[in-house]
C-alpha cells in the first residue's frame, strides 16, 4: 500500500512539474508566439533602418549640394528663379 502511495505521489509531482512546460509562461506554445513576435520586430527594425538610411542620404545631399535644395524647392513648393516663368497646365 505504501509503495503505491509513493508512486502515485511521484506521478502527481511529475505532472505538476510538467504543467508549466506545456501550458505555462515558458511553454512551447508561448515560445512559438515569441518567435513570431521576434520575427515581426526584426522586420520592423530592418524597415526602419532602411528608412533611416534613405533619410540620412537625403539629408546629406541637402547639406552638401545647392542643386538638391533647388530641386526640392521646385518640386515641393513650386518655387522658381527670378528670371523664370511658371506655366501651370491643369
Residue 46, SS3?
Answer: helix
Residue ranges making up the domain that contains 41:
25-78
Residue 6 within any structural domain of the chain: no
Residue 12 within any structural domain of the chain: no
Reply yes or no on whether the pLDDT at 77 is more than 90: no
Residue 57 within any structural domain of the chain: yes
Residue 43, SS3?
Answer: helix
Residue 38 within any structural domain of the chain: yes
Q: Which residues contact 24 (CB under 8 A, 6 or more apart)?
A: 30
Of residues 25 and 34, which shows the higher confidence score?
Answer: 34
Number of independent structural domains in the chain: 1
Residue 88 within any structural domain of the chain: no
Residue 54 within any structural domain of the chain: yes
Query: According to the model, what pLDDT value does residue 40 have?
Result: 98
pTM of the model: 0.54
CB 44 within 8 A of CB 50: no
80: cell is: 522658381
pLDDT band at 82 (very low <50, low <70, confident <90, very high): confident
Please compute the mean of the pLDDT values over residues 3-21 and round it to a whole number: 87
Amino acid at each position: 500500500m505504501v509503495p503505491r502511495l509513493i508512486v502515485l505521489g511521484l506521478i502527481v509531482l511529475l505532472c505538476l512539474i510538467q504543467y508549466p512546460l506545456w501550458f505555462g509562461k515558458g511553454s512551447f506554445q508561448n515560445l512559438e508566439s515569441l518567435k513570431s513576435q521576434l520575427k515581426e520586430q526584426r522586420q520592423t527594425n530592418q524597415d526602419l533602418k532602411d528608412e533611416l538610411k534613405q533619410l540620412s542620404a537625403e539629408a546629406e545631399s541637402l547639406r552638401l549640394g545647392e542643386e538638391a535644395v533647388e530641386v526640392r524647392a521646385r518640386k515641393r513648393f513650386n518655387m522658381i528663379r527670378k528670371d523664370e516663368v511658371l506655366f501651370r497646365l491643369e
